[in-house]
Amino acid sequence: MTRQHVSSSNVRSVGFDSSSQILEVEFHNGGVYHYYGVPESIYRGFMAAGSKGTYLNDRIKDRYRYRKVG
């Protein structure tokens, strides 16, 4: 999955696969996580958010199943 670099103090890059609804988030600390069952509208909101960390905490973490993949 190709990730796009984002401007954030916590998140380095973000990728999304619309067919599988997997959101991939790479953090500056090197961790990479997959979030499962994420609608494209949430991905688009995440990419448009002024604060990626706040959006991730408020709308993605603890709402979607996830797994550390890297």
CA distances from 45 to 4, 10, 30, 52 (A): 15, 17, 23, 9
pTM over 0.75: yes
List of the chain residues with pLDDT < 50:
none
- Determine the Cα–Cα distance for residues 66 and 46; give it in Å rounded to an integer: 16
Residue 43: other Cβ atoms inside 10 A: 20
In this prediction, residue 1 carries a pLDDT of 87
Structure tokens at 26: 């790479």
In this prediction, residue 44 carries a pLDDT of 98
Structural domain harbouring 44: 4-68
CA dihedral over 42, 3, 37, 11, signed as positive or negative: negative
Please count the structural domains in the chain: 1
